[in-house]
Structure 1
Amino acid sequence: MEIKQLFRDPLVVVLPAAHPLGKEKYISIGQLEQEPFLLLKSGCESLVINAFQENELSMNTQLEIADNSTLISMVEAGIGVTIVPSMILPSTPVNVVVKPLIPSLVREVGLVVRSQQLLSPIVTAFIEEAQNGLEEFMK
Protein backbone atom coordinates (compact mmCIF):
# COMPACT_ATOMS: atom_id res chain seq x y z
CA MET A 1 0.00 0.00 0.00
CA GLU A 2 1.20 3.48 -0.85
CA ILE A 3 -0.13 6.94 -0.06
CA LYS A 4 -0.57 9.46 -2.86
CA GLN A 5 -0.63 12.86 -1.16
CA LEU A 6 -3.17 15.26 -2.66
CA PHE A 7 -2.57 18.35 -0.52
CA ARG A 8 -1.60 19.71 2.89
CA ASP A 9 -4.28 21.61 4.78
CA PRO A 10 -3.08 23.83 7.65
CA LEU A 11 -5.18 23.95 10.80
CA VAL A 12 -6.14 27.44 11.98
CA VAL A 13 -7.53 29.02 15.13
CA VAL A 14 -11.04 30.46 14.84
CA LEU A 15 -12.08 33.08 17.42
CA PRO A 16 -15.16 35.22 17.96
CA ALA A 17 -14.73 38.58 16.18
CA ALA A 18 -14.19 40.60 19.38
CA HIS A 19 -11.88 38.09 21.10
CA PRO A 20 -8.72 39.67 22.63
CA LEU A 21 -6.47 37.11 20.89
CA GLY A 22 -7.79 38.36 17.56
CA LYS A 23 -5.16 41.11 17.66
CA GLU A 24 -2.32 38.57 17.67
CA LYS A 25 -0.54 37.70 14.41
CA TYR A 26 -0.17 34.02 15.41
CA ILE A 27 -1.67 31.95 18.21
CA SER A 28 -0.01 29.13 20.12
CA ILE A 29 -1.69 26.12 21.69
CA GLY A 30 -0.66 27.48 25.10
CA GLN A 31 -2.69 30.64 24.56
CA LEU A 32 -5.81 28.48 24.15
CA GLU A 33 -5.42 26.33 27.27
CA GLN A 34 -7.81 28.36 29.44
CA GLU A 35 -10.21 29.26 26.63
CA PRO A 36 -13.59 27.52 26.32
CA PHE A 37 -12.78 25.11 23.49
CA LEU A 38 -15.15 23.70 20.87
CA LEU A 39 -13.75 20.47 19.44
CA LEU A 40 -14.62 19.56 15.86
CA LYS A 41 -15.26 15.81 15.64
CA SER A 42 -14.62 15.28 11.95
CA GLY A 43 -11.60 13.00 11.89
CA CYS A 44 -8.71 15.36 12.53
CA GLU A 45 -9.44 16.02 16.21
CA SER A 46 -6.56 13.73 17.14
CA LEU A 47 -4.14 16.31 15.68
CA VAL A 48 -5.58 18.97 17.99
CA ILE A 49 -5.73 16.72 21.06
CA ASN A 50 -2.15 15.53 20.47
CA ALA A 51 -0.92 19.13 20.13
CA PHE A 52 -2.29 19.94 23.58
CA GLN A 53 -0.91 16.72 25.08
CA GLU A 54 2.56 17.15 23.50
CA ASN A 55 2.75 20.58 25.14
CA GLU A 56 1.54 19.11 28.46
CA LEU A 57 -1.52 21.34 28.34
CA SER A 58 -5.11 20.51 29.10
CA MET A 59 -7.90 21.41 26.73
CA ASN A 60 -10.87 23.22 28.27
CA THR A 61 -13.36 21.36 26.04
CA GLN A 62 -16.87 22.71 26.39
CA LEU A 63 -18.53 20.88 23.52
CA GLU A 64 -17.74 18.38 20.77
CA ILE A 65 -19.40 19.23 17.48
CA ALA A 66 -19.60 17.12 14.30
CA ASP A 67 -20.95 19.73 11.88
CA ASN A 68 -18.63 22.40 10.44
CA SER A 69 -21.23 25.16 10.08
CA THR A 70 -22.65 24.55 13.54
CA LEU A 71 -19.16 24.84 14.99
CA ILE A 72 -18.43 28.13 13.21
CA SER A 73 -21.85 29.51 14.24
CA MET A 74 -21.06 28.65 17.87
CA VAL A 75 -17.73 30.49 17.63
CA GLU A 76 -19.55 33.47 16.07
CA ALA A 77 -21.95 33.42 19.03
CA GLY A 78 -19.01 33.64 21.45
CA ILE A 79 -19.47 30.17 22.97
CA GLY A 80 -15.82 29.29 22.52
CA VAL A 81 -12.77 29.05 20.27
CA THR A 82 -11.66 26.23 18.00
CA ILE A 83 -8.93 24.84 15.79
CA VAL A 84 -10.05 23.55 12.40
CA PRO A 85 -8.65 22.65 8.99
CA SER A 86 -8.58 25.80 6.87
CA MET A 87 -10.42 23.98 4.08
CA ILE A 88 -13.68 23.83 6.05
CA LEU A 89 -13.96 27.60 6.41
CA PRO A 90 -16.15 29.66 4.13
CA SER A 91 -14.16 31.80 1.69
CA THR A 92 -15.02 34.94 3.67
CA PRO A 93 -15.79 34.01 7.28
CA VAL A 94 -18.17 36.44 8.99
CA ASN A 95 -18.07 37.48 12.66
CA VAL A 96 -15.00 35.36 13.37
CA VAL A 97 -11.26 35.93 13.27
CA VAL A 98 -9.03 33.28 11.72
CA LYS A 99 -5.39 33.09 12.86
CA PRO A 100 -2.53 30.74 12.01
CA LEU A 101 -1.19 28.41 14.68
CA ILE A 102 2.42 28.56 15.78
CA PRO A 103 3.94 26.04 15.54
CA SER A 104 1.77 24.98 12.66
CA LEU A 105 -0.43 21.90 12.54
CA VAL A 106 -1.15 20.40 9.14
CA ARG A 107 -3.39 17.59 8.03
CA GLU A 108 -2.31 15.68 4.97
CA VAL A 109 -5.05 14.56 2.64
CA GLY A 110 -4.35 11.75 0.23
CA LEU A 111 -5.41 8.51 -1.35
CA VAL A 112 -4.23 5.02 -0.49
CA VAL A 113 -3.37 2.88 -3.50
CA ARG A 114 -1.96 -0.62 -3.79
CA SER A 115 0.97 0.54 -5.91
CA GLN A 116 1.49 3.73 -7.88
CA GLN A 117 3.21 1.70 -10.62
CA LEU A 118 0.15 -0.52 -11.06
CA LEU A 119 -2.50 2.20 -11.32
CA SER A 120 -4.89 1.93 -14.22
CA PRO A 121 -5.14 4.92 -16.57
CA ILE A 122 -8.60 5.78 -15.18
CA VAL A 123 -7.33 5.86 -11.57
CA THR A 124 -4.33 7.96 -12.64
CA ALA A 125 -6.70 10.39 -14.40
CA PHE A 126 -8.94 10.52 -11.30
CA ILE A 127 -5.96 11.37 -9.06
CA GLU A 128 -4.82 14.11 -11.46
CA GLU A 129 -8.33 15.59 -11.61
CA ALA A 130 -8.63 15.45 -7.82
CA GLN A 131 -5.31 17.25 -7.41
CA ASN A 132 -6.23 19.92 -9.98
CA GLY A 133 -9.68 20.43 -8.48
CA LEU A 134 -8.26 20.73 -4.97
CA GLU A 135 -5.62 23.22 -6.12
CA GLU A 136 -8.39 25.39 -7.59
CA PHE A 137 -10.51 25.00 -4.45
CA MET A 138 -7.62 25.96 -2.15
CA LYS A 139 -6.89 29.23 -4.03
Structure 2
Amino acid sequence: MSSYLPTLRQLRYLVALDEHRHFGRAAEACLATQSTLSAGLQELENLLGVTLVERTKRKVLMTPLGEEVAARGRELLRGAEDIADLARAHGKPLCGRLRLGVIPTIAPFLLPRALPGLRRLYPDLKLILREDLTARLLERLTSGELDAAVLALPYDAPEMEMEALFTDPFVLACPPGHPLAARDSVGSADLAAADLLLLEEGHCLRDHALAACSLPAPRRGEGMLGTSLGTLVQMVATGMGVTLLPRLAVEAGILTGTDLVTRPLVGGGARLLGLAWRKSSARKDEFRLLGKVLFGG
Protein backbone atom coordinates (compact mmCIF):
# COMPACT_ATOMS: atom_id res chain seq x y z
CA MET A 1 0.00 0.00 0.00
CA SER A 2 1.34 3.43 -0.90
CA SER A 3 2.47 5.63 1.97
CA TYR A 4 1.50 8.67 -0.07
CA LEU A 5 -2.15 8.71 0.89
CA PRO A 6 -4.22 11.63 2.19
CA THR A 7 -4.93 11.55 5.92
CA LEU A 8 -8.42 11.84 7.36
CA ARG A 9 -7.35 15.11 8.98
CA GLN A 10 -6.35 16.58 5.62
CA LEU A 11 -9.59 15.43 4.01
CA ARG A 12 -11.59 16.88 6.90
CA TYR A 13 -9.91 20.24 6.35
CA LEU A 14 -10.70 20.13 2.62
CA VAL A 15 -14.33 19.13 3.18
CA ALA A 16 -14.79 21.90 5.75
CA LEU A 17 -13.32 24.48 3.38
CA ASP A 18 -15.57 23.24 0.57
CA GLU A 19 -18.61 23.65 2.82
CA HIS A 20 -17.74 27.04 4.35
CA ARG A 21 -15.64 28.64 1.56
CA HIS A 22 -13.85 30.58 4.29
CA PHE A 23 -10.59 29.61 5.99
CA GLY A 24 -11.57 31.01 9.38
CA ARG A 25 -14.99 29.34 9.54
CA ALA A 26 -13.59 26.07 8.19
CA ALA A 27 -10.87 26.08 10.85
CA GLU A 28 -13.44 26.79 13.56
CA ALA A 29 -15.59 23.88 12.36
CA CYS A 30 -12.52 21.60 12.59
CA LEU A 31 -11.51 22.93 16.02
CA ALA A 32 -8.18 23.98 14.51
CA THR A 33 -6.33 27.24 14.03
CA GLN A 34 -6.48 28.87 10.61
CA SER A 35 -2.73 28.41 10.12
CA THR A 36 -3.00 24.70 11.00
CA LEU A 37 -5.81 24.19 8.52
CA SER A 38 -3.99 26.13 5.79
CA ALA A 39 -0.82 24.11 6.37
CA GLY A 40 -2.76 20.84 6.27
CA LEU A 41 -4.34 21.77 2.94
CA GLN A 42 -0.95 22.74 1.54
CA GLU A 43 0.41 19.34 2.65
CA LEU A 44 -2.48 17.63 0.85
CA GLU A 45 -1.85 19.55 -2.37
CA ASN A 46 1.88 18.80 -2.20
CA LEU A 47 1.16 15.14 -1.55
CA LEU A 48 -1.16 14.84 -4.56
CA GLY A 49 0.82 17.22 -6.76
CA VAL A 50 -2.27 19.23 -7.73
CA THR A 51 -4.03 22.49 -6.88
CA LEU A 52 -7.27 21.98 -4.98
CA VAL A 53 -7.95 25.51 -3.75
CA GLU A 54 -7.59 28.89 -5.45
CA ARG A 55 -6.53 31.40 -2.82
CA THR A 56 -7.45 35.05 -3.34
CA LYS A 57 -7.66 37.99 -0.95
CA ARG A 58 -11.42 38.27 -1.29
CA LYS A 59 -12.72 34.71 -1.39
CA VAL A 60 -11.93 31.02 -1.53
CA LEU A 61 -12.50 29.12 -4.77
CA MET A 62 -12.33 25.36 -5.14
CA THR A 63 -10.87 24.05 -8.38
CA PRO A 64 -13.05 21.49 -10.20
CA LEU A 65 -10.63 18.80 -9.02
CA GLY A 66 -10.81 20.21 -5.50
CA GLU A 67 -14.60 19.86 -5.50
CA GLU A 68 -14.33 16.26 -6.72
CA VAL A 69 -11.70 15.36 -4.10
CA ALA A 70 -13.84 16.99 -1.41
CA ALA A 71 -16.85 14.92 -2.48
CA ARG A 72 -14.78 11.71 -2.35
CA GLY A 73 -13.31 12.82 0.96
CA ARG A 74 -16.77 13.33 2.40
CA GLU A 75 -17.60 9.70 1.58
CA LEU A 76 -14.37 8.47 3.19
CA LEU A 77 -14.99 10.48 6.36
CA ARG A 78 -18.49 9.09 6.61
CA GLY A 79 -17.08 5.58 6.25
CA ALA A 80 -14.51 6.27 8.98
CA GLU A 81 -17.29 7.46 11.29
CA ASP A 82 -19.22 4.26 10.58
CA ILE A 83 -16.16 2.24 11.64
CA ALA A 84 -15.99 4.19 14.91
CA ASP A 85 -19.72 3.66 15.39
CA LEU A 86 -19.31 -0.06 14.80
CA ALA A 87 -16.71 -0.28 17.56
CA ARG A 88 -18.83 1.86 19.87
CA ALA A 89 -21.85 -0.35 19.29
CA HIS A 90 -19.97 -3.24 20.91
CA GLY A 91 -19.54 -1.24 24.11
CA LYS A 92 -22.07 0.53 26.31
CA PRO A 93 -25.29 1.55 24.53
CA LEU A 94 -26.10 5.22 24.07
CA CYS A 95 -22.81 6.71 25.17
CA GLY A 96 -20.61 9.30 23.51
CA ARG A 97 -21.77 11.74 20.83
CA LEU A 98 -25.05 11.28 18.97
CA ARG A 99 -26.19 13.97 16.54
CA LEU A 100 -29.98 13.92 16.34
CA GLY A 101 -32.19 15.93 14.02
CA VAL A 102 -35.81 16.69 14.93
CA ILE A 103 -38.50 18.39 12.87
CA PRO A 104 -40.05 21.56 14.38
CA THR A 105 -43.56 20.08 14.70
CA ILE A 106 -42.14 17.46 17.08
CA ALA A 107 -39.11 18.98 18.84
CA PRO A 108 -40.73 21.49 21.25
CA PHE A 109 -43.45 19.05 22.29
CA LEU A 110 -41.55 15.77 22.62
CA LEU A 111 -38.07 16.74 23.82
CA PRO A 112 -38.92 18.62 27.08
CA ARG A 113 -40.77 15.60 28.42
CA ALA A 114 -38.38 12.95 27.07
CA LEU A 115 -34.89 14.36 27.63
CA PRO A 116 -34.82 14.28 31.47
CA GLY A 117 -35.48 10.53 31.45
CA LEU A 118 -32.94 9.98 28.69
CA ARG A 119 -30.26 11.84 30.67
CA ARG A 120 -31.10 9.86 33.79
CA LEU A 121 -30.88 6.49 32.05
CA TYR A 122 -27.86 7.27 29.87
CA PRO A 123 -25.74 9.94 31.55
CA ASP A 124 -22.76 9.23 29.27
CA LEU A 125 -24.73 10.15 26.13
CA LYS A 126 -23.80 13.50 24.61
CA LEU A 127 -26.85 14.39 22.54
CA ILE A 128 -26.39 17.13 19.94
CA LEU A 129 -29.75 18.36 18.63
CA ARG A 130 -30.58 20.11 15.38
CA GLU A 131 -34.11 21.28 14.53
CA ASP A 132 -34.98 21.65 10.84
CA LEU A 133 -37.46 20.63 8.16
CA THR A 134 -37.52 17.01 7.02
CA ALA A 135 -35.84 17.47 3.65
CA ARG A 136 -32.86 19.33 5.13
CA LEU A 137 -32.48 16.84 7.98
CA LEU A 138 -32.33 13.98 5.47
CA GLU A 139 -29.70 15.87 3.46
CA ARG A 140 -27.59 16.13 6.63
CA LEU A 141 -28.16 12.45 7.38
CA THR A 142 -26.95 11.56 3.90
CA SER A 143 -23.84 13.76 4.23
CA GLY A 144 -22.99 12.32 7.65
CA GLU A 145 -23.64 15.56 9.58
CA LEU A 146 -26.38 13.78 11.55
CA ASP A 147 -26.57 10.25 12.93
CA ALA A 148 -30.37 9.90 13.13
CA ALA A 149 -33.50 12.03 12.87
CA VAL A 150 -36.94 12.09 14.48
CA LEU A 151 -39.48 12.49 11.67
CA ALA A 152 -43.14 12.14 10.80
CA LEU A 153 -43.68 9.15 8.54
CA PRO A 154 -44.10 8.09 5.83
CA TYR A 155 -41.48 10.01 3.86
CA ASP A 156 -39.92 8.96 0.58
CA ALA A 157 -36.21 8.42 1.29
CA PRO A 158 -35.21 4.98 -0.03
CA GLU A 159 -31.57 5.40 1.07
CA MET A 160 -32.70 5.60 4.71
CA GLU A 161 -33.97 3.01 7.13
CA MET A 162 -37.04 4.22 9.00
CA GLU A 163 -38.96 2.80 11.93
CA ALA A 164 -42.36 4.05 13.11
CA LEU A 165 -42.60 4.19 16.91
CA PHE A 166 -45.55 6.37 17.91
CA THR A 167 -49.02 7.19 16.63
CA ASP A 168 -49.96 10.87 17.02
CA PRO A 169 -53.65 11.57 16.28
CA PHE A 170 -54.81 14.87 14.79
CA VAL A 171 -57.52 16.94 16.45
CA LEU A 172 -59.46 19.96 15.27
CA ALA A 173 -58.80 23.20 17.15
CA CYS A 174 -61.42 25.95 16.94
CA PRO A 175 -62.94 28.78 19.00
CA PRO A 176 -65.67 27.68 21.45
CA GLY A 177 -68.32 29.60 19.52
CA HIS A 178 -67.48 27.99 16.16
CA PRO A 179 -70.21 25.69 14.70
CA LEU A 180 -67.79 22.73 14.67
CA ALA A 181 -67.22 23.12 18.43
CA ALA A 182 -70.76 21.78 18.93
CA ARG A 183 -69.85 18.48 17.24
CA ASP A 184 -68.68 15.39 19.11
CA SER A 185 -66.31 14.67 16.23
CA VAL A 186 -65.46 16.25 12.89
CA GLY A 187 -65.39 14.61 9.45
CA SER A 188 -63.75 15.40 6.13
CA ALA A 189 -66.84 17.10 4.75
CA ASP A 190 -66.92 19.45 7.75
CA LEU A 191 -63.29 20.39 7.23
CA ALA A 192 -63.69 20.85 3.48
CA ALA A 193 -66.38 23.48 4.16
CA ALA A 194 -64.42 25.26 6.92
CA ASP A 195 -61.73 27.92 6.74
CA LEU A 196 -58.92 25.46 7.37
CA LEU A 197 -55.59 27.05 8.28
CA LEU A 198 -52.46 25.10 7.37
CA LEU A 199 -48.71 25.27 7.74
CA GLU A 200 -46.85 26.67 4.77
CA GLU A 201 -45.39 24.33 2.17
CA GLY A 202 -42.27 22.49 3.25
CA HIS A 203 -43.74 21.24 6.52
CA CYS A 204 -44.57 17.55 6.21
CA LEU A 205 -47.27 17.91 8.89
CA ARG A 206 -49.32 19.87 6.36
CA ASP A 207 -49.38 16.91 3.96
CA HIS A 208 -49.93 14.33 6.70
CA ALA A 209 -52.86 16.30 8.13
CA LEU A 210 -54.53 16.59 4.75
CA ALA A 211 -53.96 12.89 4.03
CA ALA A 212 -55.37 11.91 7.44
CA CYS A 213 -58.58 13.73 6.58
CA SER A 214 -58.66 12.70 2.90
CA LEU A 215 -58.54 16.35 1.85
CA PRO A 216 -56.92 17.61 -1.36
CA ALA A 217 -54.00 20.00 -1.11
CA PRO A 218 -55.11 23.59 -1.78
CA ARG A 219 -53.92 25.24 -4.96
CA ARG A 220 -50.93 27.55 -4.60
CA GLY A 221 -52.03 30.89 -3.19
CA GLU A 222 -55.24 29.52 -1.68
CA GLY A 223 -55.99 29.69 2.02
CA MET A 224 -54.13 31.08 5.00
CA LEU A 225 -50.72 29.65 5.85
CA GLY A 226 -48.82 29.65 9.14
CA THR A 227 -45.09 29.37 9.68
CA SER A 228 -45.41 27.27 12.85
CA LEU A 229 -48.00 25.49 14.97
CA GLY A 230 -47.83 28.34 17.47
CA THR A 231 -48.68 30.83 14.73
CA LEU A 232 -51.62 28.69 13.60
CA VAL A 233 -52.98 28.60 17.15
CA GLN A 234 -52.84 32.40 17.41
CA MET A 235 -54.54 32.76 14.02
CA VAL A 236 -57.36 30.48 15.15
CA ALA A 237 -57.63 32.32 18.46
CA THR A 238 -58.26 35.59 16.61
CA GLY A 239 -61.13 34.03 14.64
CA MET A 240 -59.38 33.55 11.30
CA GLY A 241 -60.45 29.91 10.93
CA VAL A 242 -59.81 26.44 12.33
CA THR A 243 -56.79 24.17 12.19
CA LEU A 244 -55.58 20.63 12.72
CA LEU A 245 -53.09 19.98 15.50
CA PRO A 246 -51.22 16.85 16.52
CA ARG A 247 -52.35 15.64 19.94
CA LEU A 248 -48.69 15.61 21.04
CA ALA A 249 -48.64 19.41 20.74
CA VAL A 250 -51.99 19.81 22.53
CA GLU A 251 -50.88 17.61 25.44
CA ALA A 252 -47.67 19.64 25.67
CA GLY A 253 -49.75 22.79 26.26
CA ILE A 254 -49.75 24.60 22.92
CA LEU A 255 -53.30 25.87 23.62
CA THR A 256 -52.38 27.32 27.03
CA GLY A 257 -53.54 30.92 27.31
CA THR A 258 -56.31 30.50 24.73
CA ASP A 259 -59.94 29.43 25.02
CA LEU A 260 -59.74 27.16 21.99
CA VAL A 261 -61.38 23.75 22.14
CA THR A 262 -60.44 20.53 20.37
CA ARG A 263 -62.56 17.86 18.73
CA PRO A 264 -61.46 14.41 17.50
CA LEU A 265 -61.59 13.45 13.85
CA VAL A 266 -63.99 10.87 12.48
CA GLY A 267 -61.89 7.81 11.72
CA GLY A 268 -59.09 8.92 14.04
CA GLY A 269 -56.68 10.35 11.45
CA ALA A 270 -53.10 10.39 12.73
CA ARG A 271 -49.45 10.77 11.76
CA LEU A 272 -46.74 8.24 12.56
CA LEU A 273 -43.62 9.42 14.34
CA GLY A 274 -40.36 7.56 14.29
CA LEU A 275 -36.66 7.53 13.58
CA ALA A 276 -34.61 7.52 10.39
CA TRP A 277 -30.94 6.62 9.93
CA ARG A 278 -28.56 5.63 7.14
CA LYS A 279 -28.89 2.00 6.08
CA SER A 280 -25.11 1.69 6.43
CA SER A 281 -25.09 2.79 10.06
CA ALA A 282 -23.74 0.34 12.64
CA ARG A 283 -25.81 1.91 15.43
CA LYS A 284 -29.25 0.60 14.46
CA ASP A 285 -29.84 -1.12 17.78
CA GLU A 286 -28.86 2.06 19.63
CA PHE A 287 -31.25 4.14 17.54
CA ARG A 288 -34.11 1.74 18.25
CA LEU A 289 -33.32 1.97 21.95
CA LEU A 290 -33.22 5.77 21.71
CA GLY A 291 -36.61 5.76 20.00
CA LYS A 292 -38.18 3.67 22.74
CA VAL A 293 -36.86 6.04 25.41
CA LEU A 294 -37.98 9.16 23.53
CA PHE A 295 -41.48 7.88 22.86
CA GLY A 296 -41.93 5.97 26.11
CA GLY A 297 -42.00 2.56 24.45
Band of TM-score, shorter chain: 0.7 to 0.9
Q: How does 1:64-75 map to 2 (within 5 A)?
A: 64-75=225-236
Instruction: Evaluate the alpha carbon distance shift between residue 74 and residue 112 of structure 1 in structure 2; reply closer, same or farther with a 3 A threshold.
Output: same
2:215 aligned residue: 52
1:88 aligned residue: 249
Letter in 2 for 1:99: R
1:102 aligned residue: 266
Identity across matched positions, percent: 25
Instruction: Evaluate the alpha carbon distance shift between residue 63 and residue 113 of structure 1 in structure 2; reply closer, same or farther with a 3 A threshold.
Output: same
Q: 1:104-127: CA deviations, max 9, x gaps?
A: 211001112456xx6466435423
Letter in 2 for 1:112: A
Alignment partners' CA distance in 1, 2:284 and 2:169: 31
Q: Return the offset for 1:92.
A: 7.3
3-state DSSP class of the match of 1:25? coil
TM-score by length of 2: 0.38
Letter in 2 for 1:15: C
Q: How does 1:15-26 map to 2 (within 5 A)?
A: 15-26=174-185
Q: 1:58-96: CA deviations, max 9, x gaps?
A: 9xx531112111110111111001112112224373311
Alignment partners' CA distance in 1, 2:174 and 2:195: 11
Letter in 2 for 1:16: P
Instruction: Evaluate the alpha carbon distance shift between residue 2 and residue 98 of structure 1 in structure 2; reply closer, same or farther with a 3 A threshold.
Output: same
Structure 1, gaps ≥5 residues long? none
Letter in 1 for 2:276: V
Alignment partners' CA distance in 2, 1:64 and 1:30: 20
3-state DSSP class of the match of 1:52? coil
Letter in 2 for 1:129: V
Alignment partners' CA distance in 1, 2:292 and 2:166: 12
Letter in 1 for 2:215: F
Contact 1:47–1:105 (Cα < 8 Å) also in 2? no
Alignment partners' CA distance in 1, 2:253 and 2:184: 20
TM-score by length of 1: 0.75
Q: How does 1:113-128 map to 2 (within 5 A)?
A: 113=277, 119=283, 122-128=286-292
Deviates more, 1:90-99 or 1:16-25: 90-99
* Greater RCO, CA 8 A, separation 6+: 1
3-state DSSP class of the match of 1:53? coil
| 1:79 to 2:240 alignment | yes
Q: Return the offset for 1:48.
A: 3.1
Contact 2:165–2:292 (Cα < 8 Å) also in 1? no
Q: Which has the larger radius of gyration?
A: 2
Alignment partners' CA distance in 2, 1:36 and 1:97: 16
RMSD: 2.9
Letter in 1 for 2:187: S
